[in-house]
Structure 1
Amino acid sequence: MKGTNAQLQKELLLVDDDPNLILLVKDYLEFRGYKVITAENGREALEVLETQVPDLIVCDIMMPEMDGYALVKHIRENPRTSWIPVLFLSAKGQSQDRVKGLNMGADVYMVKPFEPEELVAQVESSLKQASRLIQHKTQQGQQASHLKVPQNIELTPTELKVVQLVARGMANREIAEIMDVSQRTIESHVSNMLGKTGLHNRTELSRWAIESSKV
């Protein structure tokens, strides 16, 4: 069996009303190391999504009961599934068909018949992109959730006034004008507060001021 450990952990949902295509694509993707679950139409796919959240969905457009467009609409409207990459498979290859498919919420639009290797390449590319986005959001969340500041920081009345204005998004020059002092004086106050708190920049200082109810 081909495929990397990363692929072995990936679960794909394949949705198509053509049993021959389902069999062909399922076998090929499983041979490449993916776990594949199947559905025959959009409504059946939604039932699957109630209990399982695949890493990617490969979906036909023209299907009975619920077509691919309606399925993707449901997927994108549900926060639990909205992030899942969707790859459309369609016999319609006109430019307007591709544009409609992408505008409806698909990430990739492939025209039947297609080369199996191209399908695998598109699947792998979509999974990598989704992984990068998830990792980026996770890193942002981690950065946003940890401000390590010592307890009981004491600010002078002037520093308190300065940090309140910083938290309102004002530049040092604007704060200097309001407080009728030099910009260098404001910069000195900001520098002192960064030293007291151990924070790295004005953005973190502003967030700390808001979160610690100093504003």
Structure 2
Amino acid sequence: MKENAQKDYKKLLLIDDDPNLILLVKDYLEFRGYEVITAENGREALDVLDREIPHLIICDVMMPEMDGYALVEHIRQDPRTSWIPVLFLSAKGQSADRVKGLNTGADVYMVKPFEPEELVAQVESSLKQANRLMHYTNRSSDAGSRIQVPENVELTPTESKVVQLVAQGMANREIAEQLNVSQRTIESHVSNMLNKTNLHNRTELARWAIESNMA
């Protein structure tokens, strides 16, 4: 009971077209104190997200109607849901598959089959990270503080375009398609900007762009 209370009844959205996996994972997570709502594919998940906002989304990659990649793009483009951590579940475990999943906008990529305890650990870690980020953002907003970067940071014209699209919530792959360059090129631009600004991640880079009226 104490463990359940510590979860603060976090609501999770579980999306998979395998009813057996849905039943197994749902039961396991509910036993650990989470409230779990389910959907069978991406389109059904979007209908759910119109009605309620979960604290975390667990999503299969290969599904009919709308796959996980397309769903995450929708999630990241909607301000109501863009902050929600997304955990991908996939039978495809090659390095290229993991990279694609993370670059699309997922926060965690787990390969099936997986140990239930590992899934719970990843869920808890993602929720804690999201909570820390939200707390930091709220605290910074309350204090009226702005994100700090070195003075006279100069971006190239291409970097300026890239950071504007990062601030709009676009994934590296989407930015590459829009600018008609390779995804590796976009990753290089993002890395260069992080080095120039001494920032730690894309979230901070996006915040800096918004606060500096570049977005």
- The interval holding the TM-score normalised by the smaller chain is 0.5 to 0.7
Structure 1 residue 79: Cα displacement: 0.5
The structure number with the bigger radius of gyration is 1
Q: How many angstroms apart in 2 are the aligned matches of 1:95 and 1:3?
A: 35
In the other structure, the counterpart of 2:201 is: none
2:88 maps to 1:88: yes
TM-score w.r.t. structure 2 length?
0.66
In the other structure, the counterpart of 1:19 is: 19
What is the identity, as a one-letter code, of the residue corresponding to 2:138? T
- Structure scoring higher RCO (CA < 8 A, sep ≥ 6) equals 2
**Identical residues among aligned pairs (%):** 75
Q: How many angstroms apart in 1 are the aligned matches of 2:136 and 2:116?
A: 30
In the other structure, the counterpart of 1:117 is: 117
Q: How many angstroms apart in 1 are the aligned matches of 2:59 and 2:43?
A: 12
Structure 1 residue 98: Cα displacement: 0.3
Alpha-carbon contact 2:4-2:34 (below 8 Å) kept: no
Structure 1 residue 9: Cα displacement: 2.1
Alpha-carbon contact 1:15-1:45 (below 8 Å) kept: yes
Question: Cα RMSD between the aligned structures?
Answer: 1.4
Q: How many angstroms apart in 2 are the aligned matches of 1:92 and 1:3?
A: 33
Task: Give SS of 1:9's match.
Answer: coil
Alpha-carbon contact 1:86-1:108 (below 8 Å) kept: yes
In the other structure, the counterpart of 1:6 is: 6
Q: How many angstroms apart in 1 are the aligned matches of 2:3 and 2:43?
A: 31
Q: How many angstroms apart in 2 are the aligned matches of 1:100 and 1:89?
A: 13
Task: Give SS of 2:144's match.
Answer: helix
In the other structure, the counterpart of 1:107 is: 107
CA displacement, residues 146-189 of structure 1 (integer Å, 9 cap, x when unaligned): xxxxxxxxxxxxxxxxxxxxxxx9xxxxxxxxxxxxxxxxxxxx
In the other structure, the counterpart of 1:131 is: 131
Mark the CA change 1:38 to 1:2 in structure 2 (over 3 Å): closer, same or farther. Answer: farther
Q: How many angstroms apart in 2 are the aligned matches of 1:82 and 1:6?
A: 25
Unmatched runs of 5 consecutive residues or more in structure 2: 146-150, 152-215
TM-score w.r.t. structure 1 length?
0.66
What is the identity, as a one-letter code, of the residue corresponding to 2:101? G
**What is the aligned residue count?**
146
Unmatched runs of 5 consecutive residues or more in structure 1: 146-168, 170-215
Superposition misfits of 4+ residues, deviation over 6 angstroms: none
Task: Show the 5 A alignment for 1:1-215.
Answer: 3-144=3-144
